[in-house]
Chains A and B, each alone.
Chain A
Amino acid sequence: MTYIGHGGKEIVERVLEPEKAAEAIKGLTPVPIRGQIAREIIDIAYGFFTPLEGFMTRADVEGVCNEMKLANGVLWPIPIVFDISTEEINEKGIKEGDKLLLTYQDKPMAILEVEEIFTYDKQEMAQKVYGTTEDKHPGVARTYNYKDKFIGGKITLVNPPKINPPFDEFFFTPKQLRQKFAEKGWQRVVAHQTRNVPHTGHEWLMKGAWLSTHGELPVEKTLTGVLVNAIIGEKRKGDYIDEAIVLCHDVLRKAGYFREDVHLTSITLWDMRYAGPKEAVFHAILRSNLGLTHHMFGRDHAGVGTYYDPYDAHRIFDQIPEGALNIKPIRVLAWWYCPICGEVTYSGLCGHKEHSQNFSGTLIRSIIQDGVKPPRLIFRPEVFDLIMECAEKYGFGSAFVTDKYLKERNPVFSLPDMKY
């Protein structure tokens, strides 16, 4: 079955059959890569980043930075680049026209066709993508940490990753996910972007977004779903561990806070850039490739610190030309706890602003760190209990990322041994 992704391009999997792969990599120069690049290779190879077939060339990067468009005119907000040092290029004698064997975890992973080797001003890239050159911004810091040269060119996966438990039941390629939606009979699916364990504010955001998405559809049959798409990438000390994020979202359905036939949890491998509005557009593209029809954007989507207005990520969609994006944004304000209403309620409806009690994922994390169990109106007990279980099972006694977790955790994916 053919599936059409972002930019009207067919979703294509750039993955070689094992026998062809072993043959194709013979004699290629090996180049070890880091986790971020490995995750992006998986995204490109399975079509998460359609229409990208590889890492961007200079023309693409320029178009993305200056006009939020690829060189072919398709909307795209964040550069996807393969960085490499001049020393490594010289040492390995890499030149345009070469094919490189990208290795990860000391195993072959993908072939990179070297179409172009180029440089790009990192400060300019930071300013244009993030609206700042301050290295306190984590996306800017990531940009400054890029090595001095970039290689643009197509990639082909030669050694498909094995997704490890408990993530294996949540990893779906765009094609698999679209098949799953069809099996469920979902005509519309709304995305909830997350890298957090859910509190009831998140739960109500999803429920509100589901209602907006379902709209005028008949109610006799479930035609609309919520897809929780957890972003799994680089972790920082103090974050919730990945296992807790994924399993706790899934438990919302298992514990009945969502009906079995309206809710699904999945993962996408991506290192957050915290690019605020630009990242909101990126998330919309990503989820349109997954086959979603709607995308919920709450307060301060993909923001960090005070670099963006809390609703910049809503406003950017007003600037996008009709037809450039095949997914509808659902814009929502914050939910808060209102002691007068006695419930978590929508700030766009509740008239008790002066009594409102705001909460955030960070605040809840702080409460849990203080050894306090949040009230069930704010945090479902099943979620709390599961966090504690995950701490024991996966986090070396902590639900939050520690040095030990960073060093000894079971990786999200592994590359199998490969004969070549």
Chain B
Amino acid sequence: MSITINIWINEERYEKLQKAGLANMAEEALAGLKVIKVPCTEQQKDKVLKVFPTAKYDSATTKSIELLPREVKDKIFDLVVEKQSIDVMDDFLKNY
């Protein structure tokens, strides 16, 4: 199972996706809740955890990096929309 960052889709984010014609990028993940799963390499995961100490890698259940601050998730989400791709972690981490 690959490592991901889950960007959960609320109404505001869904609207942005729709405007960009990317609504189908969100997949159903949890009882109808939609998510964009941004992939991370092992090295990217380590850097994210180092830069954002409140974040946690859920190795036991979901293999995902959780508890990133909301504004950080927003930045990653905006990059996804801008690049029209989920492979954005290299770009995102350039600034850190």
A binds B: yes
- Interface digits, B50-89 against A, CB 8 Å rule (1 contact, 0 not)? 0000101011111010111110010000000000000000
Known: A300-B60, A357-B29, A357-B30. A362 touches B54 (CB 8 A): no
Known: A357-B30, A366-B8, A372-B9. A303 touches B70 (CB 8 A): no
- A sample of 25 inter-chain contacts (CB < 8 A) reads A238-B56, A238-B67, A299-B61, A300-B61, A357-B30, A358-B61, A359-B62, A360-B60, A360-B61, A362-B56, A362-B67, A363-B61, A363-B62, A365-B66, A366-B67, A367-B8, A370-B7, A370-B8, A370-B70, A371-B12, A371-B70, A374-B33, A375-B33, A377-B31, A378-B33
* Residues of B within 8 A of A (CB-CB), count: 26
Extra A-B contacts (12), CB below 8 Å, given A367-B30, A370-B73: A237-B54, A337-B31, A357-B30, A360-B58, A360-B62, A362-B58, A363-B62, A365-B66, A366-B6, A366-B68, A371-B10, A377-B31
Q: Is the interface of A mostly helix, strand, loop or mixed?
A: loop
Chain A residue nearest in CB terms to B32 = A375
For B6, list chain A residues within 8 Å (CB): 363, 366-367
A410 contacts the other chain (Cβ, under 8 Å)?
Answer: no
Interface residues of A (CB under 8 A from B): 237-238, 299-300, 303, 305-306, 310, 334, 337, 339, 357-360, 362-363, 365-367, 369-372, 374-375, 377-378
Chain B residue nearest in CB terms to A374 = B33
A359 partner, pick from B59, B61, B73, beta carbons under 8 A = B61
Provide the bound-state CA to CA distance between A9 and B75, in Å.
Answer: 58
For A378, list chain B residues within 8 Å (CB): 30-31, 33
For B54, list chain A residues within 8 Å (CB): 237-238
Provide the bound-state CA to CA distance between A299 and B61, in Å.
Answer: 9
Provide the bound-state CA to CA distance between A370 and B29, in Å.
Answer: 15
* B60 pairs with A359, CB closer than 8 A: no
Provide the bound-state CA to CA distance between A362 and B64, in Å.
Answer: 10
How far, in Å, is B96 (CB) from chain A's closest CB?
A: 19
Provide the bound-state CA to CA distance between A384 and B62, in Å.
Answer: 22
Provide the bound-state CA to CA distance between A374 and B30, in Å.
Answer: 9
Known: A371-B10, A372-B9, A372-B10. A363 touches B58 (CB 8 A): yes
> Which 4 A-B pairs give the minimum distances between C-beta atoms?
A366-B66, A360-B61, A370-B8, A238-B54
* A363 pairs with B60, CB closer than 8 A: no
Chain B residue nearest in CB terms to A338 = B31
How far, in Å, is A392 (CB) from chain B's closest CB?
A: 17
For A300, list chain B residues within 8 Å (CB): 60-61
B64 partner, pick from A337, A363, A370, A374, beta carbons under 8 A = A363
How far, in Å, is B78 (CB) from chain A's closest CB?
A: 14
How far, in Å, is B57 (CB) from chain A's closest CB?
A: 8
A299 partner, pick from B30, B58, B60, B68, beta carbons under 8 A = B60
For B59, list chain A residues within 8 Å (CB): 305-306
A358 partner, pick from B33, B62, B73, beta carbons under 8 A = B62
